[in-house]
Amino acid sequence: MVWLQRLNDPERHTLSADLADTYSSLLTRLGAVSAFELAVLGARAMPTPGLAFLMGYQAALRVLWPSAPASLGALCASERRSVRPADMQVRLNDLRLSGSKDFVTAGLDADWLLVAARSEAPGDSPQVSLAVVYPGEPGVSLEPLPALPLMPEVGHARLHLDQAQCERLAGDGWDAYVKPFRTLEDLYVLSALCAWLYGVGQDNGWPQGMQLRLIGLLGGCAEGTRLCADSMACHLLLGGLFAQFAALKEEISQALQNTPGEWAMLWQRDQGLLEIASAARAKRLAKAWASAGLS
């Protein structure tokens, strides 16, 4: 496990003027890495949980689209707080996209955008395709949104598309991309935040037992990356990993309170990142639990 050896690098990464440059310089520092290594080693080097989240998010994107450019990217799916195909209004016609996406993570710094769009013929059931557009191209504009209480250093934007030319990815946009990304994001963000906490603990002499439990969680996450994101086994394993993490929360909070510096404040601010999609994750776990005959 090369990632475990490199996880002990204590050097924090120097932030650049914007997220794109920070990410680019981090990739240069890390060299050739897998998506999981990007999540954990990148997060270990970041000064805040919010930036650690960004590393997990980028890693998940690269599992979703293995041909993704090396630069910063984003998935654009939600419209009016929904990702249901029937609620989407962005349309794809003749490789042209029109409509708006209302929440794009790191959108103002992204070099490429994956856009989920309706593509069925009039009168047919909703069909989703996934397409790629590039900020700065004709018909592609991004509107900055106010900073969130969570991870304010990672900006968000609203995407506006007006007959923007795009590249369409192969496969069904919902089943092959949007739906599995929910699980991939959960897995890689959990990996990233566990790695960030491990780094804080290692740098500040947390008890060995607690550091080992975080390493154990990371080992479980590594195993999860070998499973198909829409499989019953992956959802059950992910449910177990989140349960283990939840059991550590009080101990983590106490350790952070006893740690000099602003680590406790940063964690208090950003720990809600893991709760954002908890309802959808619980539904997937319940379905997997029933499918396994455990209910």
What domains are defined for the chain?
2-64+176-291 (no CATH), 73-168 (2.40.110.10)
| Cα torsion 44, 49, 55, 56: sign | positive
Residue 107 tokens, joined: 């959108």
Which pLDDT does position 92 carry in this prediction?
98
Backbone angles phi, psi at 71, to 5 degrees: -80, 175
Q: How many CB atoms lie within 10 A of CB 155?
A: 20
The one-digit pLDDT tens for each residue of the chain (295 residues) are 689 989 998 889 999 989 999 999 999 999 999 999 999 999 999 999 999 999 999 999 999 999 999 999 999 999 988 999 999 999 999 999 999 999 999 999 999 999 999 999 988 999 999 999 999 999 999 999 999 999 999 999 999 999 999 999 999 999 999 999 999 999 999 999 999 999 999 999 999 999 999 999 999 999 999 999 999 999 999 999 999 999 999 999 999 999 999 999 999 999 999 888 888 899 999 999 999 988 7
CA 152 to chain centre: 16
Which pLDDT does position 1 carry in this prediction?
67
Residue 117 tokens, joined: 């769009």
Cα dihedral: 259, 260, 266, 271 (round 10) = 0
Contact between 253 and 197 (Cβ < 8 Å): no
Which pLDDT does position 10 carry in this prediction?
86
Spatial distance between the Cα atoms of 295 and 289, rounded to a whole number of angstroms:
6
Q: Which amino acid belongs to residue 70?
A: A
Q: Which amino acid belongs to residue 72?
A: L
Its pTM stands at 0.96
